[in-house]
Structure 1
Amino acid sequence: MNRLWISALASTCLCSLSPAYANEAAPVAGAAGGIEDIVVTAQKRAENLQVTPIAITAYTADTLTAMGITAVADVAATTPSLYSAPYPNSPTTIQLYMRGQGTNNPFQITKDGAVGLYLDGFYLSRPQSATMDLADIERIEVLRGPQGTLYGRNTTGGAVNIITKKPTGEMGVSESLTVGNRDHIRSLTNVDLPAIGNLAIKGTFLYSTIDGWTKNAGGEDFGLRQQTAGQIAARWTPADTVTVDYSFDIGRVRSTPLYFSNPDLIGFIPGYTVSRKQTYRPIDLDRSEMNFNGHSLTVEWEASDALTIRSLSGYRRVSSQTIQDYAEVYSTPSANRVTGIRPYDDMETRQYSQELQFVGSIGDRIDYVAGLYYFREKGDHYQDTRTVLAAAGAPAGSVRTQRMIDMLSVSKAAYAQVTWATPLLDDRVSLTGGLRYTRDTRRASRDLSSVFTQPDGTSFNARPPENDITNQQRFSRFNPSVTANFQASDDLMLYAKFSTGYRAGGSDESALFFAETFGPESVTNYEIGVKSDWLDRRLRINLAGFVMDYKEIQLDLPLRRNDPTINQTINAGKARISGFEGDVTIAPIDDLLLTASYAYLHSRIKTVKARAGTILDPAVNPDSGFTVGQNVASRFGQAYAPKHAFSGAVDYTFLRFDGDSGTVVVHANYQWKDAAFASSPVGPAIVGRDYWAIPAYGTLDARLTVNFELKGGDASVALWGRNITDRAYRATVTAIGAPATGYTGQTFAYGEPATYGLEFKFAF
């Protein structure tokens, strides 16, 4: 089995940055029996990772199987510079951060994330489907740092590209069946049909279910997941120089959210307990549902030996209806107040994209990539939040807040990147320059109603009602990049990189004032790195260091005490994120591979000015606690940016059957992330900021696999476990209070407990 981790350095595109790192899961024969070469296509052409200045962690299909990875969140858990946390209101949405950049509320359709998610090169605008089971994947590539030139959307954090397997045109059937605790069943079936002329077709069907881990006597258990999905893929080759790939995928995910607890309520609410296994009282909880379907069409024409032209046309629809019940978790014992919050969200978006790529070369020294990109997304989001209040044990009333958002987003871009293999120092120096122009247009409108109802039935407006409050914005940016790399020897490459990135502005759906928008953020990245192989390719060491300077960085600010439904996104001024990443891969013998990856991040918000007329102005928001013109950077920090993160693995083939007819392989991987804040207003000047901290935690996974031959095919049986030590860790947290008055408590949801099972696979 191959286990492959790769990480090197951000992107040789106009936006780039990243430390390097390459790990491989099971030793395979490479040069002199050492670590194999790794081929990546992140720059739209096949390249050896070790001689390419690009930051990428790549997971092959065998790697995903060995590590038990079936979701994007699993990828983030094992990638030191990538962080994911479940979004509290939406079980099918994850908050994805890379090198401290992401979005703190990915359910909002009026803003973009800093990390782009792609399926076969097509940008997925909404992460609602990011937790879907990964089915029939060829590889996953994680690119660190700003991306723009070679990937559809311009992002400041990075990109995750999921690449599926294409039809082969030969008859083949494979099946993977998993059974495990909590009534876990997962079945993945692939059928490749014989080619019909020059047309090849493949079908994939996935069914997966697992019970929740927090039992609930009053409704569905918390933590339940079910998915049914399918894909039809076709490859048509009408000529030797033309390839047409079409794919249609459709699926449904049903789930329940995580259960939140608050230890401060023990003794305050009769019978209240904190438990990962059982709710303290029956909660009327229904299942949430997310549906998706998409079409993608890629046409590739090899116009000549020196030019390939591609057209990528994509359409995707996502709809999501989510239910969360926080019960009384936001209650405040010090104020003798009981608060119950139950939000419901109904979201739907449709997106269309068109991209043209020109990949070619001029002579032996110049390679280039150029392209045009168009993206359009239209969507709506309805949220209904019911808040029940009680004081001193007596009912105090309830608030029902309803809002409806309509949005339209259009992005256009043109880009080019050229690499020149210079004759300097015996052809060992290459220079790369890139430039991208991006133009974004956004429009959003909001209707809002917030009504307070007293125990006697009388009601009044808790907030002024809104009807079609609209904002419109338009942004444009030029983003350059320059990279120089020096191939000191066949096994040693050094590089330096300058790049810039950009993320469009937008508006915050939950803002106190919807007309108050936020502008784009921009980043300038400086990076140096080394990639090296030693000891006859038995040792690989990749190192990189980077500094990212942000202007108008986008931060989210909760505004009201004990009301998580009101937030505002602001441009916070200047910030710096610097870091280091290192990877070590050792193959001491052919049947043993050891890998270790480490990431260090240091982030600092340098300047945040409280501007007049904004949400930081006390004349506009009495809860701000600031004065106009004040530099309030000491009140802010970077969310989901752990200072240290580590991942390590062992792969050992300790038994081979006669004639290499089978093997027995053991795999173990451990991942650890340092403490991280789950929100932005957590600077040293904020009282109680540690209530926003997710404590450090580590988990251990293991797998024992027996591979053997069947007549006409191959098969395997694997015993696997995830979080095998049953570590009780806090997967996500929210704080109670507000930045102006300080935080006084924490609510949290536990991550998944020990999960284990058997997997049976065959292919012929």
Structure 2
Amino acid sequence: MTRTATILLAGTALAGAWPAMAMAQDAAPPEQATSLSDVVVTAQRREERLIDVPLSVSTLGGEALQRAGVADISAIGGYVPNIQINQTVGGAFGPLISMRGLAPSADTSLGRDQPVGMYIDGVPIAKSTGAAFDTVDLERIEVLRGPQGTLYGKNTIGGAVNLVTRQPTGVFGGKFMLGVGSADLFEQRLSLDLPRIGEIGQGIGAFDVKVAYSGRTRDGFFDNTHPNARFSTFGEQNQQAGRVDVVWRPTEDIKVAYGYDDTSSRSSPAMLAISAPGAIGPGGAYASLYPYIQNAIYTSRPDGIANDYANRSDFFVKGHSLTAEYNADAVPFFGDVTIKSISAYRNMKSRSQTDFDGTGVDLMHFTLNNNYEQWSQELQLIGANGPVKYTFGLFGFKEEYGVFNPRWNFQFGGNKYDLQERSADNTSIAAYGQMTWTPTAFDERLSLTLGGRINKDEKSATSLSQSYSAYLANPAAPGSGVFQRDAAGNPITRSGGPALGALPGPGNIGPSDLIPLTATGSWSEFTPEFNASWKLAEDWNVYGRVATGFKSGGNNDVAATNASFMTPYEPEKLTAYEIGTKGQWFDRRLNLSAAVYYSDYRDFQVGVFVPALITTTIINAGKAHMSGVELEGTVRPVDNLRINFGYGYTKAEYDEFILPSGQDVTNTYVFPLIPKHNYTLGVDYRWPGVAGGEVVASLNYSWRSEQAGGITNDPLSYRKAYGLLDGRLSLADINIGDGRTAEISLWGKNLLDEEYWVSGINLTLFTIRQWGDPRSLGLQASVKF
């Protein structure tokens, strides 16, 4: 048993959702099956009915997530409109979340911030790398669309994803599940609530404890046919996760909650297959290399390929959080108030070895090792006094990381490589406030909200890189690497010895004698928000919202030249205008929400070739706008039948995009990873009174239109439109005595065996694709006690 399993007794994987869109709770019990229950969320840092929150929010319930049996958050995009979660090229531990036309950069280095924030119990998950961990025993997922710059801060211009874990109940009970499936899948999940120790208000108070564990092993779906391959298949998984929650309640007014999560994943990389030749092709600049790839080009999904280098794709994540709350009633001037402190520390280590050329020849591969730490502290004052509700807060954040990234390009078995080592030390502080006024003059139908946040970032990046061939040819050439140089461009060494002997690397060069280069920057931004909502009926609201957000500026830490590395980029900014409505009708048989938005996008960051810097560099390129629609709902036309539906439309266009060369690409470049249309349709039906339980059948179909793989509108990297059908058939709530119930389920994913790719990139030399999983089937059995 692994270290995580030894520490933690139980767990459940963060799963993809069954058709429960816009429903944070699971299906109502049979006696309530004709209506839809209220959904409570904390999207605005306080508990509110979803229908009363004046912004576009979707929720997915925890029990439904567990039943779906999917092990990572990539499934969210199949159930929520206008959100897409892609895998990084060559691996699955760095989810790339796109929302409302805002897509992350294909460069997933730790130096790049993302446009959509992720949070677990109020703690920011600052980097996408390592964020695809199993979250055990989840209560719900909240998806907030549009900028969240006031309450959530930087890097939420597209929206935010909140993961809310289930808290201990203090009552003994739990759930255990075993599952098997295609590709030798074996999974287990266990969550356990321990009996309460002590009593609230007596002695030292009461302690509630919950422990959880999940494990998942699986072979890959695609073969690696190379005779010396370390793994026989691509995408093999060996992932385990655990979580411990301890809640101390000394009095009714004080609550202290500690959470610890631990995830480890040891996998083989995803299959990267060549789909089209480029410069390595007939008539190309490197046509002499074409014989190495001509038999490894696949325009449709292959069963496997031969890779000489693809070895591993591992990550390890640990997190600690301590949340303390104090509640006081009728405080003069403040009214009923909650004071909250959220303290957290997280660390992540990842290592990957990926072969980019899709062949059995040593053409292109790299190693990437990351070591990341973050600390965060937030203080909140949340309260209500008469017609006014308020939230005020202070936030502090610090992160440090180091990266080791050697790359082998056309060395043909030699032990020579380009190398990049980089590190950073970044801090951020913020203060924010938001107030909502509900005057009595309109029978408390009108609510007006005003908020704002001031944020200050400071970043320091250090880089040492060498390009092997360029350095040997001329160490003083700008393209030979990033390191300290004299006025003539020659390397400055620590020892003062010959610069040529300073190249690092085993076998051909010795320990580095070069001196890294450091770049710093600081930025401040203010992000206000205003919204107004009107209650047409108890269960029907309309609202209008104007919100702002920004994505942090930074340094070009993966730059290939000194000039590029020392050229910072500024924050990008977004202002969104949104109107929407939410309601329940027909005795709560129909739940419907809709939103229309327009976003003004300025100083957007993009990596382009800059002639003066002789390399690709992130710059602030210009202006753009996005507009779109979101529609989702749930309907119960008859008893025991639930139909869920959602539709998203996004149109994103550049208003001004001039390359550093002077070329105007406003009308030729496109927004990548953004389908114009996407929809989902789910059906869930229950037959009670079968074999001492009930039969539950569910189907969910999600579809998205074609989308560009990169900004240059390259047809080779375009993804075709595709749809995925998932299903599940369960015999649930089987009474097995002593208050215990059992469930047996058959499930299937991609039932139509759709051929699609989850990521791809045109490397100029050739285009590679990472194919999605084919059809898979499985069986699960669980006991609840």
Q: TM (normalized to structure 1)?
A: 0.87
Q: For 1:752 and 1:484, how far apart are their aligned partners in 2?
A: 44
State how 1:398-477 maps to structure 2 within 5 Å: 400-452=417-469, 463-467=479-483, 468-477=516-525
Residue of structure 2 aligned with 1:694, choices 675, 699, 719: 719
Q: 1:137–1:164: 8 Å Cα contact kept in structure 2?
A: yes
CA positional deviation for 1:735: 1.5
Please state if 1:272 is matched with 2:296. Answer: yes
Q: For 2:542 and 2:473, how far apart are their aligned partners in 1?
A: 68
Q: For 2:314 and 2:389, how far apart are their aligned partners in 1?
A: 46
Q: 2:150–2:529: 8 Å Cα contact kept in structure 1?
A: no
Structure 1 residues 282 and 493: CA distance shift in structure 2, 3 A? closer
Residue of structure 2 aligned with 1:731, choices 754, 758, 761: 758
Range with greater deviation from structure 2 (149-158 or 646-655)? 149-158
State how 1:312-351 maps to structure 2 within 5 Å: 312-328=342-358, 340-351=363-374
3-state DSSP of counterpart to 1:452: helix
Letter in 2 for 1:426: D
Tell me the equivalent position of 1:16: none
Q: For 1:148 and 1:496, how far apart are their aligned partners in 2?
A: 17
State how 1:237-252 maps to structure 2 within 5 Å: 237-252=249-264
State how 1:52-91 maps to structure 2 within 5 Å: 52-91=53-92
Letter in 1 for 2:98: Y
Deviations 1:525-581 (A, max 9, x none): 111111122222222322110000011012233689xxxx97432212111011011
Q: For 2:338 and 2:431, how far apart are their aligned partners in 1?
A: 17
- Unaligned runs of at least 5 residues, structure 2: 1-16, 199-205, 282-289, 331-335, 484-515
Structure 1 residues 493 and 555: CA distance shift in structure 2, 3 A? same
State the identity as a percent: 30
Q: 2:34–2:640: 8 Å Cα contact kept in structure 1?
A: no
CA positional deviation for 1:494: 1.0
Q: 1:6–1:24: 8 Å Cα contact kept in structure 2?
A: no
Structure 1 residues 609 and 558: CA distance shift in structure 2, 3 A? closer
Q: For 2:125 and 2:557, how far apart are their aligned partners in 1?
A: 20
Q: For 1:263 and 1:412, how far apart are their aligned partners in 2?
A: 46
Q: 2:150–2:451: 8 Å Cα contact kept in structure 1?
A: yes
3-state DSSP of counterpart to 1:215: strand
Q: 2:400–2:424: 8 Å Cα contact kept in structure 1?
A: yes
State how 1:672-687 maps to structure 2 within 5 Å: 672-682=703-713
State how 1:300-699 maps to structure 2 within 5 Å: 300-304=325-329, 306-328=336-358, 340-363=363-386, 365-388=387-410, 400-452=417-469, 463-467=479-483, 468-512=516-560, 513-557=564-608, 567-610=616-659, 616=660, 626-627=661-662, 630-657=663-690, 661-682=692-713, 689-699=714-724
Q: 2:427–2:457: 8 Å Cα contact kept in structure 1?
A: yes
Range with greater deviation from structure 2 (296-305 or 310-319)? 296-305
Structure 1 residues 298 and 673: CA distance shift in structure 2, 3 A? same
Q: 2:76–2:85: 8 Å Cα contact kept in structure 1?
A: no
3-state DSSP of counterpart to 1:127: coil
3-state DSSP of counterpart to 1:758: strand
Tell me the equivalent position of 1:620: none
Letter in 2 for 1:38: V
Q: 2:136–2:243: 8 Å Cα contact kept in structure 1?
A: no
Q: For 2:622 and 2:521, how far apart are their aligned partners in 1?
A: 19
Q: For 2:534 and 2:32, how far apart are their aligned partners in 1?
A: 22
Q: 2:24–2:61: 8 Å Cα contact kept in structure 1?
A: no
Tell me the equivalent position of 1:124: 125
Q: For 1:149 and 1:42, how far apart are their aligned partners in 2?
A: 12
Q: For 1:109 and 1:609, how far apart are their aligned partners in 2?
A: 27
Letter in 1 for 2:34: G
Range with greater deviation from structure 2 (278-287 or 529-538)? 278-287
Please state if 1:710 is matched with 2:736. Answer: yes
Letter in 1 for 2:696: V
3-state DSSP of counterpart to 1:633: coil
Q: 2:21–2:633: 8 Å Cα contact kept in structure 1?
A: no
Deviations 1:483-511 (A, max 9, x none): 11111122321111111111111123333
Structure 1 residues 92 and 155: CA distance shift in structure 2, 3 A? same
Range with greater deviation from structure 2 (587-596 or 550-559)? 550-559
Range with greater deviation from structure 2 (309-318 or 55-64)? 55-64
Number of residue pairs matched by the alignment: 699
Letter in 1 for 2:380: Q
Tell me the equivalent position of 1:740: none
Q: TM (normalized to structure 2)?
A: 0.84
State how 1:146-295 maps to structure 2 within 5 Å: 146-151=147-152, 153-197=154-198, 198-218=206-226, 219=229, 220=231, 221-264=233-276, 268=291, 269=293, 271-272=295-296, 274=298, 276=301, 278-295=303-320
CA positional deviation for 1:76: 2.4
Q: For 1:722 and 1:530, how far apart are their aligned partners in 2?
A: 33
Q: 1:556–1:679: 8 Å Cα contact kept in structure 2?
A: no
Q: For 2:518 and 2:669, how far apart are their aligned partners in 1?
A: 29
Letter in 1 for 2:552: A
Structure 1 residues 522 and 152: CA distance shift in structure 2, 3 A? closer
Residue of structure 2 aligned with 1:755, choices 767, 776, 784: 776
Q: 2:306–2:358: 8 Å Cα contact kept in structure 1?
A: no
Letter in 2 for 1:403: Q
CA positional deviation for 1:29: 7.3
Tell me the equivalent position of 1:145: 146
Deviations 1:600-656 (A, max 9, x none): 00000111234xxxxx2xxxxxxxxx33xx543234321211100011100000343
CA positional deviation for 1:210: 0.9
* Segments of 4+ moved more than 4 angstroms: 2-7, 22-32, 265-268, 458-462
Structure 1 residues 600 and 428: CA distance shift in structure 2, 3 A? same
Range with greater deviation from structure 2 (307-316 or 489-498)? 489-498
Range with greater deviation from structure 2 (148-157 or 538-547)? 148-157
Tell me the equivalent position of 1:686: none
Q: 2:25–2:39: 8 Å Cα contact kept in structure 1?
A: no
CA positional deviation for 1:459: 6.5
CA positional deviation for 1:401: 1.4
CA positional deviation for 1:657: 3.7
Letter in 2 for 1:464: S
CA positional deviation for 1:273: 5.2
Q: 1:673–1:698: 8 Å Cα contact kept in structure 2?
A: yes
Q: For 2:108 and 2:138, how far apart are their aligned partners in 1?
A: 26
Letter in 2 for 1:725: L
CA positional deviation for 1:662: 1.5
Q: For 1:581 and 1:499, how far apart are their aligned partners in 2?
A: 17
CA positional deviation for 1:37: 1.6
Q: 1:179–1:185: 8 Å Cα contact kept in structure 2?
A: yes
Range with greater deviation from structure 2 (530-539 or 29-38)? 29-38
Q: 1:152–1:373: 8 Å Cα contact kept in structure 2?
A: no
